[in-house]
Amino acid sequence: MRAFVYDRPDAVDEAVASVAADPQAAFLAGGTTQLDLMKDGVWTPDRLVDISRLPLRGILVESQQLKVGALTTMEQLAAEPVVAQRLTFVREALLAGATVQLRNMATIGGNLLQRTRCRYFRDPTVAACNRRSPDSGCAAVDGVARMHAVLGVDERCIALHASDVAVPLLAVEASVLVSGPSGQRRIPLSEFWVRADEGPSIENVLGHGDLITEIDVPLLPQGWRSGYLKVRDRASYEFALTSAAVAVQMDGDMIADIRIGLGGVGSVPWRAREAEEMLRGTHVDPVRFEQAGRATMASAFTVPGTAFKVDLAVRTLSRQLITMTEATR
Amino acid sequence: MKTTRSTAPAPTAQDEYTVDVFTVVNGAPVQWRVDTRTTLLEALRDSSGLTGTKRGCDQGACGACTVHVDGARVVSCLMLAAQVDGRQVTTVEGLIDEEGRLHPLQEAFVRHDAFQCGFCTPGQLMSAVCLLREGRAGSDAEIREYMSGNLCRCGAYDNIVAAVREAAGGGA
Amino acid sequence: MTATKPDLGTWVGKGIDRVDGPHKVTGTAPYASDVTLPGMVHAVVVTSTVGAGTITKIDTSALLTLPGVRAVFTHENFPRLNPSPDVLFGEAPTAPLQDGRITFHGQEVALVVADTSQEATEAARLIEITYAAEAPLLDPAAGQPEPLPLSPDTSRGDTEAGWAAADVRIGATYRTPENTNNPLGLMGCVAAWDGDHLEIHDTTQGTIALRKTLAAMFGVPESGVRVRVPYLGGGFGAGLNQWPYKLLAAGAARELGRPVKLMLTRPQMFRLVGHRPDTEQQVRLGATRDGTLTMIEHRATVLSSIDFLAVGLITSGTGHLYACPNVATVERTVRLNRRYPTSMRAPGEAEGNWAIETAMDELAYELGMDPLELRLRNLATDLDPASGKPWSSNGVIECCRVGAELFGWSRRDPRPSSMREGDLLLGWGMAAAGFFAYLPMSQARVTVYADGTAAVRSAATDIGTGTYTVITQLAADLLGLHPQQVDCRLGDSDMPASAQSGGSGLASSLSNAVIDAVSHLQGELLTLAGADSPLHGLGPDDVVCRDGALCRRDDPSVRVPIADLLAGQGLVEMSGDGRLRPPDAAAAGMVHAGAYGARFVEVAIDPMIGRLRVRRVVSVTDGGRILNRKLARSQILGATVGGIGQALFEDTLTDPGTGRVANGTFGDYLVAVSADVPDVEVVFVGEPDRYTPSGTKGIGEIGLVGVAAAIGNAVHHATGRRMRDLPITVDQLMM
Ligand SMILES: Cc1cc2nc3c(=O)[nH]c(=O)nc-3n(C[C@H](O)[C@H](O)[C@H](O)COP(=O)(O)OP(=O)(O)OC[C@H]3O[C@@H](n4cnc5c(N)ncnc54)[C@H](O)[C@@H]3O)c2cc1C
Ligand code: SF4
Ligand code: FES
Ligand code: FES
């Protein structure tokens, strides 16, 4: 790592001010993305502002939603009983991500802000990476791509947003609370990330010095079921090839309401709205499930190494829809 | 995991790029004056000479460097030494008791031949100690899932599971 | 060869706990990475960012002004080294930093030395190197095929006649990708000079080969070079060669007059310490209706780097496993701008077996015959089919039968996709396996002390295979002591020379050296027995050591305490040196057999999402005399995990344009984790091998051989899809 000044302010506004004042400063939460990138030499801040001891840790359970402190770790959120009951797919996505060691360190705020795992992005000796250095090209498009995205991408960048938990959080319409140099604001996750095909070098709408303080997660209403299916090569400890977060409210064998998020496929966590619309108010029908999946994947941009993901994502979604609608049939 | 005290004193720096860290390692107070970029792994190995904690990747991906911070297992290669200021760290050297007797899991590892080259072993042990505490040794499948953050290239997994299963049954 | 068969059986074979276990579980076992010396500085290797060409300019001036930086070595200022000597298994790739030539992406181009590794790492990023880059040669089809010294072409009978005579024929192409050894311990060393004396703490699997290389290349006497490896964080072959990093560290340490520590990073482990190279193999098999093989043809191409050849051995087992009159093997390599290849656990056999045992399964299906039955019909158990001479032992049929029984193979419905469990498709597959016999030279010294304890010393390494433990057990039996009274020290080239731990040869080689050493020790002790001693006039093999006394072998009650023998001459200890004494194979009239095995696997496949899980493995091995049941089982377990990785995950990818490793981290290159592995049933069959007194065979590698093919065959059984390219991944399994 390049030398940096280490700063550990006691209050949110100090932390924001500290980063805002120094264009070369960065926040440090659990460090599992930040320090990794610094070791790789991809990101070389002169100042690290350690926010890990700010009083932003913990979960407040309200009747309709959870207020999750941004520094709550993945393990802490997974252990919250209300999450198991009312946000099953959030718990499953958390526990399917990384390892216990990493989940003890990784914060929810940091998870939403994790950077792509694209190996070309993470190797500064590779010149061509539009995400790392604008207008330099994209080594992955002609290179080895498997853990890359097929939605929200084009030939300028096929970087995947590899978060698991972000997928159900997006599906359930969570939002983040941000304290920044110009005050507080709330950003729905649906407006939080920027797709690679809308500009490969910008990943989200946060400005320099913006600090996520809280994630507000609506609870699924009583009677909803949800689950997260993650498909990967290894049985554990691997990013998703594809994943599906599905929450349904059934009415007999009819899908009264539904939320779908897809992981492993998008440059941003992917909400499958077309699929939701195609399925809402319909009877359980695997053929229709597949059509809904195909419709979602219709706009895929693939390279040889990622072409299989289109079919796999359709199957992953279909399987998860079958599982989620089965018990109530 | 315990919540941390946000009131812990900020490290008093020698110069901008140096940090003083006051921590407790294996029950004994320790003070490190280190380069800010020093990881917990480096501080343990290089500043405290606790070389039981191993480096297998330095990228958070192998688990060899697993230690406990405030009782929770973490990978020490992706944590700054400065981040454990005011916290409690336990390493493999802290598993034996005051009389130098092995922890039941250490004994079970030897008995079940739960290692070959031994390089992943300190990390496996630190993970396994927490796994028992987390109550995740209910079945072999559960042990395997929650031990999957510790690679063993020698492939001792079946024996590690057996050792953990035994230690769990023994109420360790 | 020792005349008398040793008495083994009190400790040998017992599953005692690993003697180094307490060190390993307490974190006190010292690995090279744990060594710190006074005045030590840290070196970091800088690697090339082009795949071929030459360095035209290298600017290090900015680095030298940075805090802590001591030196930067490039081809312009690194000491010139002598040519690498020939050492079996351990030839050095070209000496580093001798010229500005680049032969692969990620090659060593400079060394930065600083007070701390962080300072060295950060400084290394700032080095400015200009290359005259050339397009790297990466396409095997564009390369020039050449033969491999260790894998000569073989031929017996007439394969074309065998093809013509066959009722059923199959022919297909099989591929195995580059796999990276990736021992968990990062490789590296600490090198320190004292005048012309060099001491190096390293991660080699063979201390003596490294000593020879260092002495020759630095032009110093071999007697002055000491290599120490008491513990090693695994090797799997990556520690067999004299990699350039060792020469870099030793060279820098000499120039700077300080100890230098150089540890590779995980990404560098993918580039600088070898890998299992990619193969493409064509197999043709012919058989008569009743399943008798009429011909085997096995052609393999394996990839090499420009200056350093692959080991090969892909086809060398092919002519020996099955009794077939017509066999031809052809093996070629192609030099490309690729990183150094090396041996990786079960080198050659792991790749060759994938092709042959998959082809055998294909043949069984063409014949409409049970795959097990086809094996049993053709396996050569009595005579080596290549030489026509008897094997020193061969339990491959027993492996197959015992494995089939334990697995319940007879309940298998052979039709693809016929066995189901809910939505899951079940597949049962099997493969036979062999691993070549290899018996390199080793020496050992056995010492007894006046207090009744004993020591064994050898330069051999214990890379996790259990050498410390099995040698302790063996010496305990030979000396009539409890293992706790035997101290085994290894991993130091100042001790009696030994072979590397590699090729599954060490346990056999070293155990026979220990047997020989004890015989010599007994002879030495007898020289202390005066005319009045009841042992006077006996020969070394007429006596045995028991409980600290030298006894008549035929009447152990006639005994003289070793302490008395020693005291009589004012001695406090006595040693015997021994070495492997290989029998004259021709005189013995037999062919030295390696280990054998049979693997039976059940997979469950979720065809909708292509998810495969290995649910059951029965692994049966003929390993000759088993020195320690517990540790032997661990070797097979570990190798099975390696085989699962080979089958399903491991695949080192190369960027098409540059030759760069595309997935060189543990996050991107997948090895099996605990959740991927089922409970493996490990069984040993067979008898002590007749070739050497110890009766042992190497078992460190055989356990991997056949696992991938058994999995691939199980996938075919589950899905009807034939897997010919590894690894087998989700995208191939969606149905
Ligand atoms: C080996 C490995 C495997 C992994 N596997 C998975 C997986 O399977 N699934 C998965 O989902 N993830 C996985 N991850 C990613 C991991 O979940 C993220 O690295 C982690 O969640 C990031 O959280 P953190 O607290 O460590 O963030 P940090 O690394 O501290 O920060 C990440 C980024 O966000 C910024 N930041 C952090 N918190 C805030 C805040 N509150 N406000 C503003 N900015 C902030 C930081 O400046 C930094 O840029 C893996 C990571 C590793 C190393
Ligand atoms: S995919 Fe995106 S992050 Fe990866 S190399 Fe291309 S531009 Fe960079
Ligand atoms: S060294 Fe920390 S996880 Fe590998
Ligand atoms: S014992 Fe060698 S890596 Fe686990």
Task: Work out the number of other CB atoms within 10 angstroms of the CB of residue C527.
Answer: 11
Domain ranges of chain B: 18-94, 104-167
Q: Are residues C311 and C382 in the same domain?
A: yes
- Report how far Cα A211 is from the mean position of its chain's Cα atoms: 17
pLDDT tens across A312-327, in order? 999 999 999 999 998 6
Task: Work out the number of other CB atoms within 10 angstroms of the CB of residue A289.
Answer: 24
B172 CB neighbours in chain C (<8 A) are: none
Locus of tokens 């039996």: C477
Q: Does B21 touch chain A (CB under 8 A)?
A: no
| pLDDT at B12 exceeding the cut of 50 | no
Q: Are residues C465 and C554 in the same domain?
A: yes
pLDDT tens across A275-309, in order? 999 999 999 999 999 999 999 999 999 999 999 99
| pLDDT at A4 exceeding the cut of 60 | yes
A236 closest CB neighbour out of C665, C668, C675: C675
| pLDDT of C584 | 67
Segment A49-57 shows an average pLDDT of 97
Cβ within 8 Å of residue C268, ≥6 positions away: C45, C47, C106
Structure tokens at C644: 């699962």
Label residue C86 left, alpha or beta by phi (over 0 means left) and psi (-120 to 50 means alpha): beta
Contact C44, C118 (CB under 8 A): no
pLDDT tens across C595-653, in order? 999 999 999 999 999 999 999 999 999 999 999 999 999 999 999 999 999 999 999 99
Q: How confident is the model at residue C585 (pLDDT cuts 50, 70, 90)?
A: low
Q: Are residues C604 and C701 in the same domain?
A: yes
pLDDT tens across C345-401, in order? 999 999 999 999 999 999 999 999 999 999 999 999 999 999 999 999 999 999 999
B52 closest CB neighbour out of C20, C26, C630: C26
CA–CA separation, C73 vs C60, rounded Å? Answer: 9
Domain-embedded: residue C696: yes
Q: Which of C119, C199, C602, C701 is catalytic?
A: C701
Q: Which top CATH class is B104-167?
A: mainly alpha
What is the pLDDT of chain C when averaged over all its residues? 95
Residue in A43, A135, A148, A158 to alter for ligand 2 test, most ligand atoms within 8 A of Cβ: A158
Same fold flag, B18-94 and B104-167: no
Q: Is the CB of B126 under 6 A from ligand 3?
A: no
Q: Is the CB of C184 under 6 A from ligand 4?
A: yes
C118 CB neighbours in chain A (<8 A) are: 1
Structure tokens at A15: 């932390």
Among C300, C61, C314, C36, which residue's Cα sits nearest to residue C188?
Answer: C36
Q: Are residues C289 and C422 in the same domain?
A: yes
pLDDT tens across C220-269, in order? 999 999 999 999 999 999 999 999 999 999 999 999 999 999 999 999 99
Domain-embedded: residue C650: yes
Task: Clarify whether C701 is annotated catalytic.
Answer: yes
| pLDDT at A329 exceeding the cut of 90 | no
Alpha carbon of C638 to ligand 4 centroid (Å): 9
Locus of tokens 């910008």: A202
| % of chain A surpassing 70 pLDDT | 99
Whether residues B153 and C679 touch (CB distance < 8 A) is answered with no
Q: Is the CB of A94 under 6 A from ligand 1?
A: no
Residue located nearest, by CA, to atom 2 of ligand 2: A157
Domain-embedded: residue C659: yes
Whether residues A236 and C673 touch (CB distance < 8 A) is answered with yes
Domains of chain A: 5-50 (3.30.43.10), 224-326 (3.30.390.50)
Q: Tell me, what DSSP letter sits at residue C409? A: G
Strand order in the sheet with A270-271: A224-231, A242-251, A254-263, A270-271
Residue of C nearest to A2 (CA): C122
Question: What phi and psi, each to the nearest 5 degrees, are found at residue C536?
Answer: -55, 135
Residue where one domain finishes, among candidates C269, C300, C328? C269
| pLDDT at B1 exceeding the cut of 80 | no
Among C349, C266, C265, which residue's Cα sits nearest to residue C698?
Answer: C349
Domain CATH number, residue C505: 3.30.365.10
| pLDDT of C694 | 87
Q: Are residues C253 and C287 in the same domain?
A: no
| pLDDT of C2 | 39
| pLDDT of C89 | 64
Question: What phi and psi, each to the nearest 5 degrees, are found at residue B19?
Answer: -135, 145
| pLDDT of C582 | 72
C125 closest CB neighbour out of A41, A229, A311: A41
Whether residues C610 and A231 touch (CB distance < 8 A) is answered with yes
B83 CB neighbours in chain A (<8 A) are: 28, 31, 50, 52
Q: Are residues C401 and C465 in the same domain?
A: no
Among C475, C41, C443, which residue's Cα sits nearest to residue C249?
Answer: C41
What CATH number has the domain spanning B18-94? 3.10.20.30
Question: What phi and psi, each to the nearest 5 degrees, are found at residue A108?
Answer: -65, -40
Least confident of C282-291, C398-407, C611-620, C688-697: C688-697
Q: Are residues C676 and C566 in the same domain?
A: no
Alpha carbon of A37 to ligand 2 centroid (Å): 15
Domain-embedded: residue C21: no
In DSSP notation, C225-283 reads: EEEE-S--S--TTTTSS--HHHHHHHHHHHHHTS-EEEE--HHHHTTSS--B--EEEEE
Q: Are residues C404 and C471 in the same domain?
A: no
Alpha carbon of A195 to ligand 2 centroid (Å): 13
| pLDDT of B170 | 56
Q: Are residues C575 and C634 in the same domain?
A: no
Residue where one domain finishes, among candidates C581, C602, C618? C581
Label residue B31 left, alpha or beta by phi (over 0 means left) and psi (-120 to 50 means alpha): beta
Cβ within 8 Å of residue A183, ≥6 positions away: none
Q: Are residues C427 and C499 in the same domain?
A: no
**Angle between helices C244-256 and C207-218 in degrees, nearest 10:** 50
CA–CA separation, C621 vs C642, rounded Å? Answer: 16
Residue in B39, B53, B58 to alter for ligand 3 test, most ligand atoms within 8 A of Cβ: B58
| pLDDT at C479 exceeding the cut of 70 | yes
| pLDDT of B172 | 37
| pLDDT of A11 | 97
Residue of B nearest to A104 (CA): B74
A144 CB neighbours in chain C (<8 A) are: 653-656, 662-663
Among C73, C74, C96, which residue's Cα sits nearest to residue C84?
Answer: C96
Label residue C434 left, alpha or beta by phi (over 0 means left) and psi (-120 to 50 means alpha): beta
Residue of A nearest to C118 (CA): A1
Q: Are residues C351 and C424 in the same domain?
A: yes
A119 CB neighbours in chain C (<8 A) are: 662-665, 668
Distance from CA of A73 to the nearest CA of B (A): 9
Segment B19-38 shows an average pLDDT of 97
Contact C186, C266 (CB under 8 A): yes
Structure tokens at C410: 């007879």
Among C450, C451, C463, C458, which residue's Cα sits nearest to residue C474?
Answer: C458
Give ∠ CA A59-A162-B137 in degrees, rounded to 5.
60
| % of chain B surpassing 70 pLDDT | 90
| pLDDT at A157 exceeding the cut of 80 | yes
Residue located nearest, by CA, to atom 8 of ligand 2: A129
Q: Which residue range(s) make up the domain with C504? A: 440-581
A241 CB neighbours in chain C (<8 A) are: 730
Residue where one domain finishes, among candidates C236, C269, C302? C269
Locus of tokens 């350039």: C244
Contact C188, C245 (CB under 8 A): yes
| pLDDT of B2 | 32
Handedness of CA A94, A95, A99, A101 (dihedral sign): positive
Whether residues B149 and A35 touch (CB distance < 8 A) is answered with no
3-state secondary structure at position C501:
coil
| pLDDT of B15 | 84
Whether residues C731 and A312 touch (CB distance < 8 A) is answered with yes
Distance from CA of B5 to the nearest CA of C (A): 30
Measured CA distances, C508 to A39, C237, C489, C541, C594 (Å): 44, 18, 17, 21, 11
Q: How confident is the model at residue B8 (pLDDT cuts 50, 70, 90)?
A: very low
B60 closest CB neighbour out of A32, A75, A76: A32
Whether residues A233 and C730 touch (CB distance < 8 A) is answered with yes
Q: Count the domains in chain C.
A: 3
Segment A27-54 shows an average pLDDT of 97
Whether residues A235 and C731 touch (CB distance < 8 A) is answered with no
Atom of ligand 2 at shortest range from CA of A128: 5
Q: Is the CB of A239 under 6 A from ligand 1?
A: yes
In DSSP notation, C114-163 reads: ESSHHHHHHHHHT-EEEEEE------GGGS-EEEBTTB--EEES-HHHHH
CA–CA separation, C315 vs A122, rounded Å? Answer: 39
CA–CA separation, C189 vs C249, rounded Å? Answer: 7
Q: Are residues C398 and C455 in the same domain?
A: no
Contact C496, C458 (CB under 8 A): yes
Whether residues C184 and B119 touch (CB distance < 8 A) is answered with yes
Q: Is the CB of C234 under 6 A from ligand 4?
A: yes
Cβ within 8 Å of residue C501, ≥6 positions away: C205, C206, C235, C239, C460, C461, C462, C463, C465, C467, C700
Q: Of the bound ligands, which one is closest to the alpha carbon of residue A206?
A: 1
Q: How confident is the model at residue C6 (pLDDT cuts 50, 70, 90)?
A: low
Alpha carbon of C327 to ligand 2 centroid (Å): 50
Amino acid in the structure at residue B155: G
CA–CA separation, A77 vs A74, rounded Å? Answer: 5
Segment C465-482 shows an average pLDDT of 96
Q: Does B159 touch chain A (CB under 8 A)?
A: no
Helix (H) or strand (E) holding C574: strand C573-579
CA–CA separation, A10 vs B7, rounded Å? Answer: 7
Segment C298-325 shows an average pLDDT of 95
Distance from CA of C673 to the nearest CA of B (A): 5
Structure tokens at A158: 């096929």
| pLDDT of B13 | 45
Cβ within 8 Å of residue C158, ≥6 positions away: C326
